[in-house]
Amino acid sequence: MKARVHVMLKNGVLDPQGEAVRHALGAMGFDKVEGVRQGKVIDLDLAAGATEADVTEMCEKLLANTVIESYSIEMQ
Amino acid sequence: MKAAVVVFPGSNCDRDLAVAFERAGFDVSMVWHKDSVLPEGIDIVGVPGGFSYGDYLRCGAIAAQSPICQAVVEHANRGGYAMGVCNGFQILTETGVLPGALLRNAGLKYICRTVDLEVATADSVFTQGYAKGDVIGIPIAHHDGNYFADVETIAALKDQDRIAFTYGQNPNGSIDDIAGILSENRRVLGMMPHPERAADEGHGGTDGTAVFRALAGIVAAA
């Protein structure tokens, strides 16, 4: 069983790395990019019986810092 | 007077912090991250700078879950004194002992230089050796020192006079130039600049010694 966790900076939190990527794309001539946000993808291999609630607890306690980040979980 | 300095894999300012405490008159114990209790009778715990656990996941995130950090949190919750410098500040925010978070520097660069700090409050055991408004030269050395907290938290920090230090010229994008903050009970300090690296003539300045001397004075008098 697998889970994929996406962690992104919350809206309203400045993402300097995303901004740098946006600038770089603009400089390369990709002129249709209006914004870039950079996040993380964390894949978990889970033992049988693990639930989405378990992964939520992992996100709350470690995988995301909910002061600045939001997360979403895909159970696969 | 007893101080403990926590050592994580990747800490690199632990010995500097220990020397600064020693020179102020503390007996210092180094405490390994796998320990689950602090030594008996500790007056203050120092959480040092460095790159604990390689800064993996987020700076300070994994250190915050280490056994010793649970003991540090309990010590702080009991009203004990603690200070976190640089990575130590990041760790204390990750544990929730201090509010907010440290983001990547706005300019994306690692910055290592001495900066002017303004003492924003003298009302704490850490800052009472200065006068409010004093400008001191203290080194910074960080990639993720851009202090962020939500509007309500920033308002609370201001209302409660809990901003300890601000940058003269904001190097990293921190909200309201915040360089260091205090806990609600004013007994926990977190700051990105390194007072322990401005504590000897050989460092090029001694503006940081007042932090450790003031703390020693309070602890000795208690």
Model pTM score: 0.95
Please check whether residue B116 is in contact with residue B136, taking contact to mean a CB–CB distance below 8 angstroms: yes
**Between the CA of residue B106 and those of A24, A64, B166, what are the distances in Å?**
16, 20, 16
Rounded to 5 degrees, φ, ψ at B140 are: -115, 155
Q: Is A65 helix (H, G, I), strand (E, B) or coil?
A: coil
Nearest to A65 among B58, B65, B146 (CB): B58
Average pLDDT, stretch A67-74? 97
Please give the positions of B annotated as active site: 86, 194, 196
Q: How far apart are CA B188 and CA B24, in angstroms?
A: 18
Q: How far apart are CA A48 and CA A27, in angstroms?
A: 48
pLDDT tens-place string over residues B108-138 = 999 999 999 999 999 999 999 999 999 999 9
pLDDT tens-place string over residues B175-217 = 999 999 999 999 999 999 999 999 999 999 999 999 999 999 9
Indicate if ipTM > 0.90: no
A68 in contact with B, Cβ within 8 Å: yes
Nearest to A68 among B62, B103, B108 (CB): B103
pLDDT tens-place string over residues B83-94 = 999 999 999 999
Shortest alpha-carbon distance between residue A65 and chain B (Å): 7
**Between the CA of residue B103 and those of A17, B58, B151, B161, what are the distances in Å?**
11, 9, 16, 23
Handedness of CA A15, A16, A18, A19 (dihedral sign): positive
Determine, for residues A67 and B108 on separate chains, whether the beta-carbon distance falls below 8 Å: no
